[in-house]
A and B are shown apart, each in its own frame.
Chain A
Amino acid sequence: MANAVMRPLGPGDRMQRKWIDGRLTRRVAESFIKPNARLTSFERLEIYNQQYWFRLGNCLYKDYPGLRAILGDRAFEKLIREYLMRYPSRSYTLRNLGSRLVKFLKTAPGATAPRRQLALDIARLEWAHIEAFDNEARPPLEPNDLLDANAAKLRLRLQPHFSLLKLQYVVDRFLIDLRKKVGLRGEASNAIEQDHHGEKNKLTRNLKRKDNFLAVHCYQDQVYYKRLEPGQFVLLSALQNGATLERACVRLAGLKISEDLGEAIQNWFSDWMALGWFCGLK
């Protein structure tokens, strides 16, 4: 039954007429499901097959509204069906359903052509948003924790809710506007949701190609996208990858920084500490 439930739907969102081995699916359904006066065995099984795709599709619609907006409903639906065939859910929670979508997009460029890079950028930001929403916020590092610290040995740990993104499109503003329109990410509920597609939106017109460095984080239980200067991104990336503070700062050599480098770094850390981005020492 599980194979039938998770099998892709056929034309018109109907269950496929032919079974995997070439038999009629009707015959397969009749072998284990009773018909009743109104529904055949095939039709009863089909309810579960349809609801599987509608439920998981709705979940991904809610988690990836931006991706859906730039691809359009039909292409997005095709994409998520291919994705779920490749990566069926292996988690007890629908929260993780889209966790491998970015990985899938990287290996299936045809699924988002001709807007492959834009789709990838949006999907990365949308997954970072989910991570920021419900990942842990550990007690932030306090200035006193750094007293007597040796920059040559100091390795800072970033919050679990913190993501660092280097994008090629300015998608943050687009996504903020879109989320205002479509609302918050939904909850996992196993009640059957009816298939309701959202409104077509026209926000995609303003999407521009430009290097865009973002920190996605949670502050006072709200998710924020903070734009970063290239130098800030380089420094934070190095720290995230485990570099010591000293080595991370060395990576800034050669970059154009608008102010005195030492002063700039001091200001940056002052902001980042206030936002609670660091949560301990490695």
Chain B
Amino acid sequence: MPANPFNGFTDYGIGIGLRVPHFDHILSRKPAVDWFEIISENFMCDGGRPLEVLDRILEQYRVVQHGVSMYFGSSEKLNREHLKKLKRLVRRTNTPWLSDHLCWGSVDGRYTHDLLPMPYTFAAAKVTAQKIRAARDFLEVPICVENVSSYAEFHVSEMTEWEFLNEVVERADCGILLDVNNIYVSSRNHNFNPFDYVNGVPPDRVAQIHIAGHSKFRKYILDTHDHPVIDPVWKLYERAIHRVGRTATLLEWDDRIPSFEEVHGEALKARQFLGHFEKEPAKT
């Protein structure tokens, strides 16, 4: 029995993102995959090929929704039409939880389609938490917010990123999608110890973990999701699992996507860490 609504999905195991280049392989070969994560926005349409594929996937697999444009951190109100379409999709997929990012990205109705970093202030945390609560009440499904990778920090910030994340999730009473690659990327871009971040997150709110690859440039690291997971990120993952216990884990690979087998094989490397915690989390 889960201790709370956020970390009770221990049987979900290891999933991968459902991506167009793998559609035919998955539908024809039906590989054994614990679950698929879908980008909600790609399926918030009225019909056509995307929904046809999704319905066939749902016949065989568990699906969890992940969004990229709710923009809990934007100052404008939630988009009602967006929420209605999202709710239709939630009913279709029966997703046990729904995630989106702790960021902003739209202003005055204009969308940047980026995950822009927030100023880590108490005022921003309060407004963001209100929007998360409003979305959860409308969608009637647990919501988890994901930490983003970032390249800029603001003068006005009053706390660290993980303190801000904690402030938001406590106020919103929501879960966390902990992206350990994003923590690594941000830690290199902002010079903090990534283990401080992982150790600073409340373990009982972590519903899901993301792992991914990134690209290194001369002066910064970019979150590109186009490479295998590097060892330092696996170490962060190991630490996160050690704190939160067996947790639904997903590999993101969104650009220069290799074969299905290669992506799935990379994701399954997480088994070596999950295997140590078959039953109970070892909190420290």
Contacts and interface: CB of A to CB of B under 8 A. Distances in A.
Interface of A: 1-2, 5-6, 31-34, 36-39, 41, 43-45, 47-48, 51-52, 55-56, 59, 88-95, 97, 132-138, 160-161, 184-194, 218, 221-222
Contact of B48 (A38, A88, A134): A134
Interface centre among A95, A160, A185, A187 (most CB of B within 10 A): A187
B255 A38 contact: no
B41 A93 contact: yes
Nearest to A59: B113
28 contacts: A2-B112, A2-B116, A31-B155, A33-B153, A47-B222, A88-B110, A89-B111, A91-B111, A92-B41, A133-B48, A134-B46, A134-B48, A136-B45, A136-B46, A137-B47, A188-B113, A189-B68, A189-B225, A189-B254, A190-B68, A191-B212, A191-B225, A191-B226, A191-B254, A192-B223, A193-B224, A193-B254, A221-B52
Interface of B: 19-21, 39, 41-42, 44-53, 68-69, 79, 82, 101, 106-107, 109-116, 151-156, 189-191, 212, 215, 219-220, 222-226, 252, 254-255
A2 B191 contact: no
Contacts of B151: 39, 44, 47-48
Nearest to A35: B153
A150 to B, nearest CB: 31
Nearest to B107: A2
A191 B48 contact: no
Contact of B109 (A32, A36, A90, A189): A90
A218 B69 CA distance: 28
Contacts of A97: 113
Contacts of B69: 92-93
Contacts of B20: 184-187
Contacts, number: 158
A2 B110 contact: yes
Given A187-B20, A192-B224, A194-B215, A48 B152 contact: yes
Contacts of B156: 32
Contact of A136 (B19, B47, B68, B215): B47
Contact of A190 (B47, B113, B189): B113
Contacts of A185: 20
B49 A193 contact: no
A186 B109 CA distance: 24
B73 to A, nearest CB: 12
A48 B114 contact: yes
Nearest to B149: A192
B130 to A, nearest CB: 19
Contacts of A94: 41, 113
A97 B45 CA distance: 14
A34 B42 CA distance: 35
Given A52-B114, A136-B47, 16 more contacts: A5-B112, A5-B116, A39-B220, A47-B152, A90-B110, A92-B111, A132-B48, A135-B46, A185-B20, A188-B42, A188-B68, A189-B39, A190-B101, A191-B254, A193-B254, A218-B48
A93 B44 contact: yes
Q: Which 8 A-B pairs have the closest CB atoms?
A: A136-B46, A136-B47, A191-B225, A134-B48, A191-B254, A92-B69, A189-B254, A44-B152
Contacts of B223: 191-192
B116 A48 contact: yes
B72 to A, nearest CB: 13
Contacts of A33: 152-155
